[in-house]
Amino acid sequence: MAIVISQNPVNKPEFRDLEGQIAERASKAGLTTYITPHLYNVKSDGPVMTHLRRFDGILIVVSWMYPRATRWLLHRCGLAANERALHVLDAKEISDAEAFMTKILEIAEATDWIPELEEGESPEPVILDEQVKLRWYPVVDFRKCIGCMECIDFCLFGVYGLDEDNRLFVEQPDSCRPGCPACARVCPTGAIMFPQNQTPEIAGATPDEDSADEATEGQAEEIARQERKTYLEEAGRAEDVPEDKPKGDELDSLMDELEKDWE
């Protein structure tokens, strides 16, 4: 069993203190402990995910995202997404390291985990490093995706594609327009998440989590279309070019224009 502590992308002392306390207590309990950059920002084929894929035991992941978003992010990166192999804890809900350890010990007891260390031994936390930058891309919950392809039709930036079995996948994650959640708003089943979005439903909250501000289906679609219109206007494109996706040099030019706002 190992603990993965995904660091908050915001480098605040209170975040680092909590993460450090969790790592210290987990190590003292005999758990292999990994500290990583914010998992949303690492590459699926980068050193962090490559290392985690090699781990053959139970993973307990602590992240600053909603558990549903974390679970499907890891699924996209080739990590097991079943309850027996992967447990996800939301760091936003953990008040202190002791509360965290209570949850960890509950999981350990349920899985019959026994520390493989001599008494008094404690492994040092392992820092898995990777050069990262802030990223913005969709994460798909495939339990909810019905394959309607609304996202492919709606997206301006060529983010989505179809695999060899004609199934949806996020083909070009870094082509996504930073800050744009429009495809999540038009998804009829709420399968698309943007973990960094301020709206809980779009960020990955389940229906009973922070759902007071949930927009109706019609309102969400209207918001999405207005967002799409705004991006077209920013790029100097006509509003009545609705369904043609930019390709090749056109896409590169469009992204250059839109990324100026992000910088």
Residues 67 and 90: beta-carbon distance below 8 Å:
yes
> Torsion angle of alpha carbons 226, 228, 234, 238, nearest 10°?
-100
- Domain residue spans of the chain: 2-127, 139-262
Sorting pLDDT into bands at 50, 70 and 90, what band is 165? confident
- CA distance linking residue 15 with residue 213, whole number of Å: 27
DSSP 142: T
Q: Global pTM?
A: 0.77
One of 3.30.1450, 3.40.50, 3.30.70, 1.20.1440 is the CATH number of 2-127, namely 3.40.50
The structure tokens listed for 151 are 């996202």
pLDDT in tens, 22-71: 998 888 888 889 999 999 999 999 999 999 998 888 889 999 999 999 99
pLDDT in tens, 110-164: 877 666 555 556 678 999 999 999 999 999 999 999 999 999 988 989 999 998 8
Question: Domain 139-262 adopts which CATH fold?
Answer: Alpha-Beta Plaits (3.30.70)
